[in-house]
Amino acid sequence: MRFEHTRHCFFIALLLATAVAAQTRRVVAISHRGEHLHHPENTMPAFEEAIRVGADFIEVDVQTTSDGKLVLSHDSTVERCTNGKGRVSEMTFDQVEALDAGIKTGPEFAGTKVPTFDEALDLARGKIGIYVDVKNASAQDLVSHIDGHGMTGHVVIYCRLNLAKQIQALNPRLKVMPESNSVENSKLLIEQLHPKVIAFGAGDFKPEIIAVVKQANAEVYVDRMGTTDAPEGWQSAIDDGADGIQTDRPGPLVEYLRQKGYK
């Protein structure tokens, strides 16, 4: 009888410990290009909606105009998302600013502008973190803008190894976030950058690579888009070690994380 009682108590304690662990573990929600399924991607309305639904980060894509201004555009050209044509790097800021970045999403967004990186930083300060996807920008420009807006401790910067080194040399407090790719590459990144977080896509989110990153006490941020951007895919990522999930569905993800005690 005493053995049965002890075993019963043990299982209760185990269940309680598991519940507490789930509640104390935090997983961040990263809103891919803002909330872009119902708002123009990489625009202020998309970012404002991501803030409203409770995301932890907005993901923004940074490009540089021909006259050195930092603007937000996933593509190197403006055709897909605006009423204009041309490469961002060959356009002046005035030319980019004249574009309509909302009309292709719907008439209710007509007149929406391509935001500057400064505008996104201003909006985010005190409200949300920024996951900076560097498409075309220098380390000096990135660091000066981020530091200048008081966002040094509230960004992660997704970039290649060489740019990450340049950023760290300018401000070691900034959190660079390289892509894992493989076990070998992850070990190299850890050795050279000692990053606090490493990014994973669907193709490299594998146990052996995750283990290397976790052993280095770095966090794991993984993309969950398409068919995996749903509760089953989110929970699978969390079970495999994800500390952050990039999603096209920030509202539902935030709600799921709250229900499960991860947020």
61 vs 74: CA distance, rounded Å? 5
Closest CA to 28 of 118, 131, 107, 105: 131
- Its pTM stands at 0.90
Confidence bin at 244 (pLDDT 50/70/90): very high
- Rounded Cα distance, 215 and 187, in Å: 10
| pLDDT tens track for 11-57 | 444 444 444 444 568 999 999 999 999 999 999 999 999 999 999 99
* Residue-level pLDDT at 23: 52
pLDDT digits (tens, 9 = 90+) for 116-140: 999 999 999 999 999 999 999 999 9
Q: Which of 135, 117, 109, 107 is nearest to 49 (CA)?
A: 109
Q: Amino acid letter at 83?
A: N
The CA distance from 197 to 180, in Å, is 10
pLDDT digits (tens, 9 = 90+) for 189-241: 999 999 999 999 989 999 999 999 999 999 999 999 999 999 999 999 999 99
> CA-CA distance, 58 to 69, in Å (whole number)?
20
